[in-house]
């Protein structure tokens, strides 16, 4: 398929044709789906209460609260969360592939961070206030001139000691169809923030898999990549949420790869390409931790490598 995008607002080449058709995935009974929906609504209500508490909590407690809420919300949707690899203990720029609205929950459940999101998220019911309270950074994708200021804000937050998570593909892609690769790749602008702040970049792979095939389908499909959780094209959010609520055995795996340590004069484009390669070359079902011991981590020729040890959508361009 052909990916379509412009410089500032990429448009995914993935559409409804990438989503599973009727009967292609195992579904839970309607009663169970409604029970999950009730649990999600309760978590949203809890999130609304949490939004009022987050601004007054210390940073560590705020991250713990966000992690707990995100894990609870993920379970409410009936989604199993698996985390692999380890993140640096010091502030870092976490960059991940983007397939679904679920990506944000999965990231926050593993690595609570201030997320860079499109401005429209601020107006979303319930989610918007929680995003604001959680310190989400917003950018107006319709104003290219606002991009440098957004990058400076990200750098300032990183310097202040807070991790920041971004989705540098700029839009959602299904991630499971072999001929559907991100047309624009990782857009490099936000990587400049990591260079300016002197923090590592942590490439993270988010993948969705099914633990059980639909009746009548080959069991070989169990555990394979799925687009059940994807949010693509012109599909409504409600339809996507309803499909996730009905999925049986949906697992989201968050795999942190080896951190990249750019030097002071690192090229953000080369850094973006290295991070993109790390994300898309991670075996989705690797049993071993994604990050080997520090001594075994190759030093990529991005720029002089720092000797320091590792301790919702936005379109970003050059």
pLDDT at site 24: 62
Q: What is the number of helices (H) and of strands (E) in the chain? A: 8, 9
Q: CA 37, CA 30: separation in Å to the nearest integer?
A: 10
User: If we measure between CA atoms, which residue out of 62, 45, 275 comes closest to residue 167?
Assistant: 275
Among 4-13, 69-78, 208-217, 297-306, which range has the highest average pLDDT? 69-78
pLDDT at site 12: 62
Looking at the DSSP assignment, which residues form a beta bridge with residue 81? Answer: 252
Considering only residues 260 and 314, tell me which one the structure prediction assigns the higher pLDDT.
Answer: 260
pLDDT at site 1: 42
Q: Which two tokens stand for residue 177?
A: 């169809």
Alpha helices in the chain (DSSP H): 30-53, 59-76, 102-110, 127-133, 147-159, 191-197, 237-246, 268-280
pTM: 0.78
- Summary mean pLDDT of the chain: 77
Q: CA 223, CA 130: separation in Å to the nearest integer?
A: 33
Which whole number is the average pLDDT over 172-200? 76
Q: Are 271 and 195 in contact (CB under 8 A)?
A: yes
pLDDT at site 7: 44
Q: Burial, 95: exposed, middle or buried (Cβ in 10 Å; 0-12, 13-18, 19+)?
A: buried
Which residues fall within 8 angstroms of residue 275, CB to CB, at 6 or more apart?
95, 168, 186, 191, 201, 203, 260
What are the distances in angstroms from CA 7 to CA 1, 70, 137, 153, 181?
19, 32, 21, 21, 17
Question: Among 127-136, 255-264, 286-295, whose mean pLDDT is lowest?
Answer: 286-295
Q: Are 90 and 310 in contact (CB under 8 A)?
A: yes
CA 9 to chain centre: 18
CATH architecture of structural domain 4-292: 3-Layer(aba) Sandwich (3.40)
**Order of all β-strands in the sheet with 137-139:** 80-84, 250-256, 201-210, 93-96, 164-166, 114-118, 137-139
Q: CA 151, CA 160: separation in Å to the nearest integer?
A: 14
- Alpha-carbon torsion (245, 247, 248, 249), positive or negative: negative
Q: Determine phi and psi for 317, rounding to 5 degrees.
A: -120, -165
Question: Among 12-16, 163-167, 279-283, 294-298, whose mean pLDDT is lowest?
Answer: 294-298
What residue spans define the domains of the chain? Answer: 4-292
Question: Among 25-29, 37-41, 83-87, 213-217, whose mean pLDDT is lowest?
Answer: 213-217
278-302 pLDDT per residue, tens: 998 754 444 333 333 333 333 344 4
pLDDT at site 69: 92
Q: CA 25, CA 243: separation in Å to the nearest integer?
A: 10
Residue 39 pLDDT > 80? yes
């Amino acid at each position: 398929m052909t990916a379509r995008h412009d410089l500032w607002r990429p448009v995914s080449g993935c559409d409804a044709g990438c989503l599973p058709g009727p009967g292609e995935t195992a579904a839970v009974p309607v009663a169970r789906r409604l029970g999950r929906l009730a649990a999600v609504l309760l978590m949203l209500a809890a999130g609304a209460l949490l939004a009022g508490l987050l601004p007054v909590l210390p940073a560590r407690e705020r991250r713990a609260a966000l992690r707990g809420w995100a894990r609870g919300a993920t379970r409410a949707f009936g989604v199993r969360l698996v985390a692999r690899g380890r993140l640096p203990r010091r502030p870092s720029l976490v960059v991940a592939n983007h397939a679904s609205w679920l990506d944000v929950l999965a990231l926050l459940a593993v690595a609570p961070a201030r997320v860079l999101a499109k401005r429209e998220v601020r107006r979303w019911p319930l989610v918007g206030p929680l995003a604001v309270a959680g310190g989400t950074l917003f950018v107006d994708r319709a104003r290219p001139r606002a991009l440098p200021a957004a990058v400076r804000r990200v750098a300032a937050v990183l310097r202040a000691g807070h991790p920041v998570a971004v989705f540098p593909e700029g839009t959602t892609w299904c991630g499971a169809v072999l001929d559907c690769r991100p047309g624009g790749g990782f857009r490099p602008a936000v990587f400049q923030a990591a260079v300016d702040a002197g923090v590592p970049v942590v490439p993270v792979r988010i993948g969705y898999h099914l633990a059980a095939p639909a009746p009548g389908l080959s069991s070989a499909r169990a555990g394979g990549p799925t687009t059940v959780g994807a949010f693509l094209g012109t599909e409504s959010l409600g339809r996507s949420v309803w499909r996730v609520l009905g999925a049986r055995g949906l697992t989201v795996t968050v795999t942190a790869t080896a951190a990249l340590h750019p030097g002071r004069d690192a090229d953000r484009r080369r850094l973006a390409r290295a991070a993109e390669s790390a994300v898309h070359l991670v075996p989705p079902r690797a049993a071993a931790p994604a990050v080997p011991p520090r001594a075994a981590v190759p030093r990529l020729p991005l720029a002089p490598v720092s000797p320091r040890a590792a301790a919702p959508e936005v379109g970003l361009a050059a």
